[in-house]
Structure 1
Amino acid sequence: MSKISFSNSFRPKGVFSKIAENKFESEGFIKSTKKGKIKKGFQEQTPSIQLLSGDVRKSKKLHEYSFTNFLHNSTDQEIKSCVFDIIDNPAIIDTPSASEVTANEKVNHCLKLYINPIPVGALIIKSNLVDALGVNRPVRVYSIMEFKTDNGEYRAESRIVLIDPFHLVIPSQHKGKPKDLVEREVYTANQNNQLCMNDYVNQIKGF
């Protein structure tokens, strides 16, 4: 597979740093003033981003919640390219289209396929991938952002928990169709997929 790589400097600026800063401020680690922010042991940073574990590379299915991230040979190539790019370079999930989400029953059950229990106090972040021009790409990613103290300095760490190629964790409306119909149609079209994401990536890498 031919693949164009863009360095971080060419990718649109993400919002993970801002999400972390807002969390630190809400917890009293930094304080806003008219002159700016007084920082106590906080340095502006992009939180480190990595896969939670090698298990995240593996596809899983949760039929009772209409979720799968198994691929198929006929799955759109751009979707498969996104999966490859995420596993190859986890930092690409820090995009302008990332935001904190409130977990509902389905979100919790899907995330627990990969992490159980979900850490107390961690933020759940949904990222929509974008290309170098800021145009949306077709895969979403769910990560958790945790906050730690290290020698008096506060830092944030993000770990990718779940790759969602078909937007089944939090379905959205599409072309005028209500999200419950989109969820049903997309899941029905993909529920028999059997190509594991990890196997696909290994095929591309020649393993």
Structure 2
Amino acid sequence: MKISILKDSSLIRESMLNALRESFVNDTILTYYSQDYSALLQEETQSDLVIIDLNSQVEILSVIDNFKDRKMKIIVWTSSLNDTSLLELFKLDLNGYFFNGMEKEELASAITTIRNGGKYIHTELANLLLEDYVQVHTKESIRPVALFTEREWEVLELLTEGRKNEQICRILCVTQKTVKNHVSSILRKLDVPDRTNAVLTALRNNWFYV
């Protein structure tokens, strides 16, 4: 696999590069500065995955469109929770949304999830995006057949309402252990790291509306 990083010079850039090269020794890892963006587009062998720093001095949406046209997996990386473009980028349903401070293991796990067809949203961004997304999401629910059991759908719906495990226990008249088992099953089936990402996935796919 060939991974390209579009990020200007910084300690984080070097740390990310070293972490990826240590974790994916059989892959090609390349880095580009903002001024080298055209070289990235002209690669003789196209990258399979690209990580774009939102602080890069390029037109981000235009860059993303170019990579989408090339069927590349796209990850955006931000260092700020106050970036006003985050909600619009979330609506693009990209492959990954990374945030500064990711440890080597988390970074490697996220990249592996994405290269295997999954998606990854850092918890800090998921919490922020969920708050905004819920405010604008009004579509009718459309649920896939045979993904969850009836009880798992009930648990997931309560999660989208912001219910804690104790509340779910009382509403469904089940034990906390049963609720934890259902939540673990939901996370496993959705291939997401936590309940916040499970809720985001459910809302993004119109399984529930709020």
Greater RCO, CA 8 A, separation 6+: 1
Higher fraction of helix:
2
TM-score (norm: length of structure 2): 0.22
Higher fraction of strand:
1
